[in-house]
Amino acid sequence: MIQTALDRLNRLKNWQAASIILVLGFVVYAGSLFNPFIGDDSNQIVDNVLVHSISNIRLFFVGGTFYDGTHLTGVYYRPLMTSTFSVIYSLFGAHPFYFHLVQLLLVIGSTTLVYLFFRYSFKPVLALTLSLVLLIHPLDAQVVYAIPSMQDALVFFFGILAMYLLVRLSSVKSLIAVVACLSLSLFAKETGVLFVFMALVYLLWWNKRRFLHFSAIMIVPILAWFALKATAVGLSTNPNNAPIDSLRLVSRLLTAPSIYQFFITKLIAPMHIASEYYWIYPKFSIEHVLVPLIIDLLAFALVVFIAIRLIQKTSKAQYATFLFFACWSAIGLVPYSQIVPLDMTVSGGWFYFSMVGVLGMVGVVVNNRRSLIKINLPQPYSACLVGLICCTLVVISITRGFEWRSPTSLYTHNIAYSKEDYAAYAVLGSDLIDANKSSEALPFITKSLSIYPTARNYQSLGAVYTNQGNFSAALEAFNSAVAYKATATSTLFTDEANLTLVIGEYDSNKQFIVNTLSYFPNNFQLWLDLALLEQQNNHNEEAKYSISQASKYGDVSSVINESIQKNVPFTITLGPKKVII
């Protein structure tokens, strides 16, 4: 009976396999479609007015991904992701359902392409099984659940499409389509270069006739991408917002073994996965450096052992296929080895590319199991084992979806399994501040600061003190935040500008706001604060001018506007204090 079922599966047509992938993808991830915007979604989508119209597409190629009130900024160059956000927003507005839907469809499409790619090495049932593991593995689930991971979904979709076309089509002309897909992958995220590298490896090993042609064509979009990125955000990729950023190369390399160990252990036992990790091990230790290194070397030794057995017991073709996927798996880890510091130590979605290589190696081993392993597990037992593993992965992946139901659920989960996640503590504290629970927020903010001080958590500390009426402490916190310029945003300066109404001298306060406006000339809150400051100091004409400027960039309260125009006193509230203007 099992054999009959396997025979039928091995006669699957491509559309039937795609249908199975589609159905399973929606079964596992349908719940995510109703999750809200979280985290970076605000600055990249909801509050990013440039993304709200596709007519701004030119700007997406000359700036970063975050909106600071005037333009796109940051060190991340993701024009295809920003363009995708803009298309979705232009069609459907600020509804997270459609962003999640597009992302899920991209992942399902990528899984189908992986299946088609695997079909050149494995029988349909094995290719389908391996592809489904890629789809449902909890380590990859973040690529579906987190909207900021749209970049990973896009880079992988166009990259694997390029690899499939490279294998499927044999003409030199077809390389134009391959290069076009690889170019889109690059403009989604710089890790698209991994697919370029694997395309070169494939051609060098199996199709040398097209190697030089591909190299000549590919150089043009790579140079174009490089030039555009350098102009838009610069060549540095260091966001300066994680503890590992502050380490020297040697210390980062001491952390690398634990990164590889994380991927190995979570691949085998994908439990208690947080969305981001920030640990660092800058000094040698047995627990955090030596033990992970031994585990990594054992995994490497296993790969070498299998490769030796393959060349001894099987054909050169099987050996070459195994090496190809081993190379795929290894090269996918290079960008995340912290040779160049990244915005966190580890994220589960970072293994998405490498997992294809791991699954490819597993496929070769399964194909040659009788030659490599003397133990022959009966098919009913092996089928039940595979089914049990897949069901377990499905349950865990579905459960992970509940983490993204709200910012609180996500970041509470993160601090439970990622103790060094200073960003999660900062967000939880910020949410409590917004809920007028400053006293409850303070422990989260101080915990975040103790792990890794940034402009963001100092700004939150300032907000806590402002709400408590401790304006001198708030000003000190805001000034501390300004010291971390790389992670500061315009809201930091507007929060500090609010304090000019209750602390400091008029001349210095005005100079601060005017200087800040030179960087953020279209900022509504800064113009409003300047208007209030001028009115408070009986400079009515200057106040009228500033309030008119503010009205260009936001909605001014009718009470405030009329009071300034008529030059009559009014009262505003700052923290617990009533301020007469």
HSE-CB at 143 with a 13 A cutoff on CA atoms is: 28
Q: What is the pLDDT of residue 29?
A: 96
Q: In the predicted model, is pLDDT for residue 580 greater than 90? A: no
Q: What is the pLDDT of residue 73?
A: 85
Helix 211-232 with 175-188: angle, nearest 10 deg: 30
In the DSSP assignment, the letter for residue 243 is G
Q: What is the pLDDT of residue 237?
A: 66
Q: What is the pLDDT of residue 74?
A: 84
CA distance 58 to 55: 8
Residues 363-408 have pLDDT tens digits of 999 988 877 776 666 666 677 888 899 899 999 999 999 999 999 9
CA distance 203 to 493: 53
Task: Return the minimum-mean-pLDDT range out of 249-258, 289-298, 348-357, 517-526.
Answer: 517-526
Q: What is the pLDDT of residue 72?
A: 86
339: number of Cβ within 10 Å:
12
Residues 548-577 have pLDDT tens digits of 999 988 888 889 999 999 999 888 888 888
Q: What is the pLDDT of residue 579?
A: 82
Q: What is the pLDDT of residue 572?
A: 86
Q: What is the pLDDT of residue 358?
A: 98
Q: In the predicted model, is pLDDT for residue 2 greater than 70? A: no
Percentage of residues in the chain having pLDDT higher than 70: 96
Q: In the predicted model, is pLDDT for residue 298 greater than 90? A: yes
Q: What is the pLDDT of residue 75?
A: 85
Q: What is the pLDDT of residue 575?
A: 82
Residues 193-208 have pLDDT tens digits of 999 999 999 999 999 9
Q: What is the pLDDT of residue 491?
A: 84
Q: What is the mean pLDDT of the chain?
A: 91
Q: Roughly how many angstroms between the first and final C-alpha of the chain, as a whole number?
A: 84
CA distance 82 to 62: 11
Burial class (CB in 10 A: 0-12, 13-18, 19+), 376: exposed
CA distance 157 to 147: 15
Q: In the predicted model, is pLDDT for residue 465 greater than 60? A: yes
CA distance 31 to 21: 17
11 — pLDDT class (breaks 50, 70, 90): confident
Burial class (CB in 10 A: 0-12, 13-18, 19+), 432: buried
CA distance 156 to 195: 9
Residues 98-140 have pLDDT tens digits of 999 999 999 999 999 999 999 999 999 999 999 999 999 999 9
Residue 199 neighbours by CB under 8 Å, 6+ apart: 162, 163, 166, 178, 182, 214, 218
Q: In the predicted model, is pLDDT for residue 1 greater than 60? A: no
9 — pLDDT class (breaks 50, 70, 90): low
Q: In the predicted model, is pLDDT for residue 523 greater than 70? A: yes
For CA atoms 563, 569, 570, 572, the dihedral sign is positive
Q: In the predicted model, is pLDDT for residue 471 greater than 60? A: yes
CA distance 101 to 123: 31
CA distance 409 to 515: 40
Residues 12-21 have pLDDT tens digits of 888 999 999 9
Q: What is the pLDDT of residue 492?
A: 86
